[in-house]
């Protein structure tokens, strides 16, 4: 089976599994809802990040999407059935990653621009300009996609949704918040912190908006490489 039919097969899996569709919907709902709450109680120091504050919660849904899409293959012998139709494991995993990235990017960009419109309406005269706002919306979409791919790669290594989420969610909610204020340190290079630089009006650390997203992309690429190695080397 070539790459395009494999991609189509993986897309069918995603659009027919309700938990995956629910996770994608949660990306939009959580980001917009928590951002709206943040703009209602902003101190005005960084209006752009106030608009996109909800991404802290939306990225959890993105992680759940990437994790579930991969971890479902390791339940009930599903991967053995998949590999019987697609013996090339590397090609299959590439198709799986693409099938995760495309809807995540579409929903992420939609989330970014809806969040921007809601935030600008809520902030009124103190809203960020369109130039910063569009950069934030695009950065929001890219960041959510990269977090979904990062989770997908880790899920391929751990082969368990519970194990993957048990690692990533505490990391995002506890570890990253604890060290996240250490600007200019190694904390700037954490996958979630680096990607969120694009959501700030100004930045003082080592990374800018696009270099921060590049760092997040490197994390995602490393996780996918490890996941691909695990798929090729370990039994289904």
Tens digit of each residue's pLDDT (9 = 90 or more) over 120-158: 888 877 778 888 899 999 999 999 999 999 999 999 999
- Token pair, residue 103, equals 């809807």
Report, as an integer, the average pLDDT of 93-107. 96
Q: How many domains does the chain have?
A: 1
pLDDT band with cut points at 50, 70 and 90 for residue 181: low
Rounded to two decimals, the pTM is 0.92
CA distance 99 to 70: 11
CA distance 202 to 48: 9
In this model, does residue 186 exceed pLDDT 80? no
- Which structural domain, as residue segments, surrounds residue 215? 3-233
Rounded to 10°, the helix 130-158/209-233 angle is: 20
């Amino acid at each position: 089976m070539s790459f395009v039919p494999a991609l189509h097969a993986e897309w069918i899996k995603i659009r027919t599994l309700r938990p995956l569709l629910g996770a994608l919907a949660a990306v939009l709902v959580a980001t917009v809802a928590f951002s709206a709450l943040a703009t209602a109680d902003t101190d005005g120091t960084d209006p752009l990040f106030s608009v996109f504050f909800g991404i802290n919660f939306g990225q959890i849904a993105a992680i759940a999407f990437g994790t579930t899409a991969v971890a479902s293959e390791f339940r009930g012998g599903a991967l053995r059935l998949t590999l019987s139709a697609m013996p090339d494991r590397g090609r299959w995993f590439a198709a799986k990653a693409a099938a995760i990235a495309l809807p995540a990017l579409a929903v992420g960009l939609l989330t970014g621009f809806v969040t921007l419109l809601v935030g600008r309406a809520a902030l009124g005269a103190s809203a960020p300009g369109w130039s910063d706002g569009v950069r934030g919306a695009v950065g929001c979409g890219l960041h959510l996609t990269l977090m979904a791919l990062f989770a997908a790669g880790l899920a391929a290594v751990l082969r368990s949704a519970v194990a993957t989420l048990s690692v990533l969610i505490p990391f995002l909610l506890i570890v990253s918040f604890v060290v996240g204020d250490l600007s200019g340190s190694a904390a700037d290079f954490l996958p979630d912190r680096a990607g969120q630089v694009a959501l700030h009006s100004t930045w003082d650390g080592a990374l800018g908006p696009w270099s921060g997203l590049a760092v997040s992309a490197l994390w995602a690429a490393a996780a996918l490489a490890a996941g691909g190695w695990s798929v090729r080397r370990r039994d289904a």
